Chain A
Amino acid sequence: EAGVAQSPRYKIIEKRQSVAFWCNPISGHATLYWYQQILGQGPKLLIQFQNNGVVDDSQLPKDRFSAERLKGVDSTLKIQPAKLEDSAVYLCASSFRDRGTNEKLFFGSGTQLSVL
C-alpha cells in the first residue's frame, strides 16, 4: 500500500516569502494531520482535519499559517510570510479511524523548510 506522500522534500526561502507544502494521504484515510518538528524536538500538531473539516487547529499560528483539505483528500499547508523560526520539518500524517477512537497514525517523510 502506498504511504503518505509529501512534496517538496526540501525548500529554502528567505524570510517574508511565502511557501506551500502538499500532502496526499493514504487512500481511504479520513483524518489528516499536519505537524511541525523543530530540530531536536518532538513533532507538534498544527492542525487536524476530519474529511474536509477542521477538528483541531488550536496550535496553528493563524496569523501566518493556513491549511486546507478540499474534497477531503489532498491537503496544502501555507506559510505567509515566513519567519526565521518557521525553519523546521513539516510532517503530514493520516489515519483511517474517525476521531474518538484509538487510531494509528501513518506519517510521510516530511518537508524540510529552511528560512534564511
Chain B
Amino acid sequence: DAKTTQPPSMDCAEGRAANLPCNHSTISGNEYVYWYRQIHSQGPQYIIHGLKNNETNEMASLIITEDRKSSTLILPHATLRDTAVYYCIEKTSGSRLTFGEGTQLTVNP
C-alpha cells in the first residue's frame, strides 16, 4: 500500500510555478522518492526521482527535506499540458512501484 500523503487536488495559473507537496514521514533510509504523472487517457510518465539530494532535470525539480520526511515537486513554468494526476511514490531498489491516488493538478489559463 502507498505510504505517501498528497493533497487530492491543486490549481495553478499558467506560467507560474507549480509546487506539489508530498509527505513520506515513514520513509526508510534505502527508499527513493519517485514522481510520475498521468495525463488523461494516457499511461503514467516518469518525471524524476531522488534519495536525499535535490534533483533537477528538463521536466522538474525535486526538493527533499533534510529529514527526508517530505518533498516538493516543482514545475517551474506550468503550462496547460501539465494538467495531470501527479503521483509521489516511495520505492526501494527492486521493489514494486506502488501508486496511491495522487494529486490532480489543474493548470488554468
Which A residues have a C-beta under 8 Å from some C-beta of B? 4, 33, 40-45, 48, 56, 91, 93, 99-102, 104-110
Contact = CB atoms under 8 A, between A and B. Distances in A.
B98 interface: yes
Chain B interface size, as a band, is: 20 to 34
A71 B74 CA distance: 41
B102 A42 contact: yes
Interface in B88-109: 91, 93-94, 96-102
Contacts, number: 49
Contacts of B97: 33, 45, 105
Interface in B49-73: 49
Contacts of A45: 96-98
Nearest to B99: A42
Contact of B96 (A40, A48, A110): A48
A109 B44 CA distance: 8
Contacts of B45: 107
Contacts of A44: 98-99
B93 A42 contact: no
Contacts of B94: 99-101
22 contacts: A33-B97, A40-B101, A41-B101, A42-B99, A42-B100, A45-B96, A45-B98, A91-B43, A93-B43, A93-B44, A99-B94, A102-B49, A102-B93, A105-B36, A105-B97, A107-B42, A107-B43, A107-B44, A109-B41, A109-B42, A109-B43, A110-B43
Contact of B43 (A100, A102, A108): A108
Nearest to A104: B46
Give 4 nearest A-B pairs by CB, closest first: A107-B43, A42-B99, A100-B94, A104-B46
Contacts of B44: 43, 91, 93, 105, 107
